């Protein structure tokens, strides 16, 4: 069982906070699609072509900048090379790109999950984020998903923006909930180096909100979604029961995945470990179709590497990790020092321990990254 991720590296404009790999050169879309199809075909005799593909995720960038014909060519090539028996096929889209006809066309291609980049319905916040859409386009896109009877969708929200009040966030959540999403990804705004936002913060032109304010936003999102039966299952992800994202959850479980397109990552299990590689973030090289040169770095992960990564990713989920599973899958056992640390954090209310599970409490999830690093460093 495996998944495929496809990175479509084009956007209309650069959002102020974004550090994904993308370009705004629309004239390269067509040559990119040609190259992508060749990259897919280059996997014909790779062991990946023998795997059963259960999930496909088309992300970016902005996949909805591709038209139906281009997407059809990509899906045809995938079906040609891989053994696809997909439970979940997700495509990321932006509100300003979609129409009911486009959404119907996606369903004909087998896409059964839409990921809509809403982020906010507040005009001032959308301007601050330098998003290409306005609030009415976000509402229309969600309405279109309903009209097109799309099987499932998720929407992204960003909270913890400079100057964003709890009332503003409350209104954003209410507006989103009025479209009955079965899944929501809610992220706190992060300041990344090299982004427009990063530069503004560095120059002192923008102050980011205090941790306490971000924590209040975090709680409000959880409380309001929970009231509608949409439960947190990972730090930034919420779903109605049974609607958790399969593809992303499989990353946490180290299911094999193949990344196609510039900047995409892959993981493939081999004896006693796994091999991880990524494609370079270089469109020129990508368009040259020199696939050997495209691979950036290939790393071999041994079972300890994989176990520590599983700790990091698993503890960000509400399910947590199971020491029994850590032992059977990776041969990994917690040290005395780690066990002592866990008991200390349990007393402080950050960690929940039961028979065979270690989980972060609601309080612990707010500082998940800090706690996880602390735990790993106790080894
Ligand atoms: S649309 Fe998405 S990928 Fe493109 S710049 Fe904005 S956040 Fe980044």
Alpha-carbon torsion, ordered 296, 111, 309, 159, to 10 deg: 100
Question: Does 307 fall in a domain?
Answer: no
Q: How many domains does the chain have?
A: 1
Question: Does 254 fall in a domain?
Answer: no
What's the rounded mean pLDDT across residues 68-96? Answer: 98
pLDDT of residue 135: 98
Question: Does 52 fall in a domain?
Answer: yes
What domain range includes position 210? 2-249
What are the tens digits of pLDDT across the range 87-99?
A: 999 999 999 999 9
3-state class of 57 per DSSP?
A: strand
Question: Does 293 fall in a domain?
Answer: no
Whether residue 15 has its Cβ less than 6 Å from ligand 1: yes
Closest C-alpha residue for ligand 1 atom 2: 61
Question: Does 108 fall in a domain?
Answer: yes
pLDDT of residue 297: 80
Residue 97's nearest CA partner among 209, 164, 221, 13 is 13
Question: Does 188 fall in a domain?
Answer: yes
Residue 33's nearest CA partner among 10, 16, 51, 52 is 10
Question: Does 239 fall in a domain?
Answer: yes
Distance from the alpha carbon of residue 132 to the mean position of ligand 1, in angstroms: 9
Distance from the alpha carbon of residue 77 to the mean position of ligand 1, in angstroms: 26
Higher confidence at residue 366 or residue 11? 11
What's the rounded mean pLDDT across residues 80-109? Answer: 98
Cite the beta strand spans of 31-174 per DSSP E: 52-60, 83-93, 113-119, 153-159
Which CATH number covers residue 80? 3.20.20.70
Question: Does 241 fall in a domain?
Answer: yes
């Amino acid at each position: 069982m495996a998944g495929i991720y496809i990175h479509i590296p084009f956007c209309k404009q650069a959002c102020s906070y974004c550090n994904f790999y993308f370009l705004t050169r629309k004239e390269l879309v067509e040559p990119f699609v040609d190259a992508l199809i060749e990259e897919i075909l280059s996997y014909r005799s790779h062991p990946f072509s023998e795997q059963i593909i259960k999930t496909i995720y088309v992300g970016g960038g902005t996949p909805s900048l591709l038209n139906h014909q281009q997407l059809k060519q990509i899906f045809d090539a995938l079906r040609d090379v891989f053994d696809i028996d997909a439970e979940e096929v997700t495509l990321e889209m932006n509100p300003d790109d979609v129409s009911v006809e486009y959404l119907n066309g996606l369903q004909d291609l087998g896409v059964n999950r839409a990921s809509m980049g809403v982020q906010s319905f507040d005009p001032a916040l959308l301007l601050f984020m330098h998003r290409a859409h306005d609030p009415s386009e976000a509402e229309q896109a969600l309405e279109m998903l309903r009209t097109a009877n799309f099987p499932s969708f998720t929407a992204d929200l960003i909270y913890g923006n400079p100057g964003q009040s709890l009332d503003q966030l409350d209104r954003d959540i209410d507006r989103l909930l009025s479209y009955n999403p079965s899944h929501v990804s809610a992220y706190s705004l992060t300041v990344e180096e090299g982004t427009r936002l990063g530069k503004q913060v560095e120059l002192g032109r923008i102050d980011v909100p205090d941790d306490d304010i971000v924590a209040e936003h975090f709680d409000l999102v959880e409380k309001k979604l929970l009231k509608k039966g949409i439960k947190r299952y990972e730090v930034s992800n919420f779903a109605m029961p049974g609607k958790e994202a399969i593809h992303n959850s499989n990353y946490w479980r180290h299911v094999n995945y193949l990344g196609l397109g510039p900047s995409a990552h892959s993981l493939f299990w081999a004896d006693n470990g796994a091999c991880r590689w990524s494609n370079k973030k270089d469109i020129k090289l990508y368009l040259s179709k020199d696939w050997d040169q495209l691979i950036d770095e290939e790393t071999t992960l041994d079972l300890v590497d994989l176990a520590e990564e599983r700790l990091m990713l698993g503890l960000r989920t509400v399910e947590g990790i199971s020491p029994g599973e850590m032992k059977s899958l990776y041969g990994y056992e917690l040290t005395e020092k780690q066990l002592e640390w866990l008991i200390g954090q349990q007393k402080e209310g950050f960690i929940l321990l039961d028979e065979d599970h270690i989980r972060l409490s609601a309080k612990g999830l707010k500082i998940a990254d800090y706690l996880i690093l602390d735990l790993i460093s106790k080894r």
